[in-house]
Each structure stands twice: as C-alpha cells, then as structure tokens.
Structure 1
Amino acid sequence: MLPDRHRLHRSADFRATTRGGRRVGRRDLVVHVTTRRAGDPSVAGPRVARVGFVVSKAVGPAVTRHRVARRLRHVCVPVVTALADDVDVVVRALPGAATASSSELDRQLRSGLRRLGAFAETPSAAPAPGRSPAAR
C-alpha cells in the first residue's frame, strides 16, 4: 500500500502538477511531474515525493477504474522511494491501462519518470572524475 504521506490529496496540488508541470505520454499512461519550491506552504511535514492518480470514465466502468487505480498504486510503492523528495507526480490512466499488465504499467511509468528526470540523483550517476557534465 502506498503510504498516505506519499499521496496527493488536494485538487489544487493535482491542478498545479497537471497544468504547471512537464508531461510525457506513453501508450497507456500520461505522467505529469512538477517540482515543489523550497518554501512551499502547501506541504507540511517531511518533504517526500507525492503521487496522485487520475482514472477517468474513459478507462471503463467503476470496477475497472478501481482495479486500474489499485494496480497503479501497487506499481508506485517501490518507485516512490527512488523519486526526488521535492517532486509531485500525477499519473493519468488512458483507456489501454484497463487491459495492460501490471509489469507493462510499471515499465511505462518508470520510462516516463526517467524521461522527466524525476528520479533522485544517485552517486553512480555522477560524472567520472575529470569529466565535465557537458562532456557526457
């Protein structure tokens, strides 16, 4: 289960992420990412990555939409700990998500997040000594 502190709850946060952030589309998902400012008063408590989901009626009837949302939450559990602490992510499911496998949704989500640069920098991603980042 995705911990509550990692979930987006307020519609203003969803709106800020979908309208003000960057996005990338995949076959069954659209991934929106925005970076929170350092002094953002809307975020109380520890600074952690937050994720929200949008599963519209275009995906299918209520049972199908809820199943897709549960699968997306399950896929996000290991991903959210690897995200940068100051990002908000909204995952919008497209109609194909209803028939996609969980592993396919995971692959598409990670691909979108990687493309948008939402993952935290790791020491192994640092440039080699003597090389400038521009030389990569």
Structure 2
Amino acid sequence: MLPRSRRITRGDDYRRIVRRGSRCAGPHTVTHVVPSAEGDVRFGFIVARNVGGAVVRNTVRRRLKAVCAEALELDPTIVGPGTDVVIRALPGAGEASYSALRDEVHACLKRSFSRMNRDSLAGSS
C-alpha cells in the first residue's frame, strides 16, 4: 500500500495537478501528471459517485492504490522523483478488472513521464 508520505491529501494540490498537469486518458481512468517541488512521487485518487456505490468506489480506489504501489515497486523509474500524479476513475472503472486497470495506469504513467522528460529537454535547449 502507499504510505501517507506518497499520497496527495490537500484539495488545493488536487486542483493544481488536474488543471496544470499533462493528461493521459484511457477507457477507465484519466491520469494527470505534473512536476512538483516535493522530493517523493505522490499519488492522489478521485473516484466520484458516478463510478458506483460506496463499496464499488472503495474497491476501485484500493485497486488504483495497489496498482501505483506495484508500479513503483516493479519499476521505480516509471515516474521520476518530484512528480505528482492524480488518477481519476471514470464510470466504467467499477466493472474493470485489476489487470485492465494496471495495464492502463502503467501505460499512462510511462507516457506522461516520457512526455514530461521530452518537454523539459526541449525547454532547456
């Protein structure tokens, strides 16, 4: 599971990341990624009522947390240090399998982080 130091907890942080971050959309989630002044990678999750009832929402949130913890454990370079990530679950996420969510989130993290690196290299030239 993700420790508290790796989670986004403030509403202002969520708003900043969703508004200013690069976005990668999949069939079940939308991933927002933005560079941060913090040292560690931090994750936040938005699972609204349109995903399902409380049990379904909590299941989706737990799955997304596990997917992110697994991604950091298997490949710590998937997202660089000083990055904030917010994953918003879409209405179909309640019916998605764990493996579908995992594949989608991993692909979006890789794509967003490579895009951030490309943009930072272009800006430094």
Segments ≥4 residues shifted beyond 6 Å = none
In terms of fraction of residues, the more helix-rich structure is 2
In the TM superposition, 1:1-136 aligns within 5 A as: 1-36=1-36, 40=37, 43=38, 47-80=39-72, 81-82=76-77, 83-117=79-113
CA distance in 2, matches of 1:118, 1:18: 18
Secondary structure of 2:88's counterpart equals: strand
TM-score normalised over the length of structure 1: 0.77
Matched pairs, number: 112
Secondary structure of 2:81's counterpart equals: coil
Query: Quick check: 2:80–2:113 contact (8 Å CA) kept in 1?
Result: no
CA distance in 1, matches of 2:64, 2:114: 17
In the TM superposition, residue 92 of structure 1 has moved relative to its aligned partner by 0.2
1:57 aligned partner, one-letter code: R
Secondary structure of 1:15's counterpart equals: helix
Q: What is the percent sequence identity of the aligned residues?
A: 38
CA distance in 2, matches of 1:118, 1:91: 17
Secondary structure of 2:2's counterpart equals: coil
More displaced 10-residue stretch of structure 1: 61-70 or 72-81: 72-81
* Larger-gyration structure (1/2): 1
Deviations 1:59-118 (A, max 9, x none): 001111011001111111022333201110000001111011111101000111111126
Query: Quick check: 2:67–2:101 contact (8 Å CA) kept in 1?
Result: yes
